[in-house]
Amino acid sequence: MEGAAILNLATLLDSEFSDTVDCILNCHGRVVVTGVGKSAIIASKIVATLNSTGTPAIFMHAADAIHGDLGTIQENDVVICISNSGNTAEIKLLVPLIKRGNNKLIAMTGNLESYLALEADHRLNTYVEKEACPNNLAPTTSTTAQMVVGDALAISLLKIKGFTSKDFAKYHPGGALGKRLYLKVEEIVLNNQRPEVDISAGVKEVIVEISQKMLGATAVTENGNLVGIITDGDIRRMLNKYDNISGLIAKDIMTSNPKTISSKVLAVEATKIIQKNGISQLLAVDGNKYVGVVHLHNLIKEGIL
């Protein structure tokens, strides 16, 4: 029932929705979102979504507003009032107070004939036929519809403002999501050891370097320039190919032109290269200079992969 109600919301979109978007875009203050009961909880969620997508917003409980919190609303703010019926006592008391301050009032309601809808400057229609509750009492379908319209409003504003992933990162610096948006390759390789052997290094030196640095590979350099990589797999292939390995050097067993990534790019780009090529390690470079190794385990540990 809730799914069907959400699909039906698309048929209710009209010029009132775009007018509401324009109203908020032209607002020089914040978006104050208010409601009572379950609608108040939805209002709080909508505020969080607006704030995280670049539209300053604040929550005000409708019942608390008439007991002192009305001061939350500043001169240039726009107010979104959420009420399925649009006729609750708290809403009827609050609406005249909002209008007295000359703030634009947006009604999010399932009843366009309600007191709230008739008094509002703009109306967001969240009509649902009935609640999912078998008694048609508990706010279920109606609150889901409110949240969906709130999301649609936030995303419309985001797109019009040209809000990018870099902007998003400013508001989400924590957790895996934030790391995908700001963590760079150079920050990861700093925490790893830096395996490296010269192109003329003997096989024993190569094996020791791979074992000690514990990244399953080592870079091969010549005069400071990166020329190849030797992995655990290259060592196994060497043992299968040669009966006598005493005279071999790094050049004989390395993989030339290894996969690399700039140390200055986001770590999430390393994830794409590693997944695309089915490899475990990626060599980080700064220009032609070898910087270090990004390992699959680093990306898992950071929550990027």
Residues in the chain: 305
Best CA proximity match to 57, nearest among 88, 35, 24, 89 = 24
Q: In this structure, how many other beta carbons lie within 10 angstroms of the beta carbon of residue 149?
A: 23
Q: In this structure, how many other beta carbons lie within 10 angstroms of the beta carbon of residue 46?
A: 25
CA separation for the pair 12, 91 (Å, rounded): 23
Residue 172, annotated as binding a ligand: no
CB burial of 256-284 (b: ≥16 within 10 Å; e: otherwise) equals eebebbebeebbbebbeebeeeebbbbbb
CA separation for the pair 156, 148 (Å, rounded): 12
Binding residues for Zn(2+): 61
Binding residues: 61
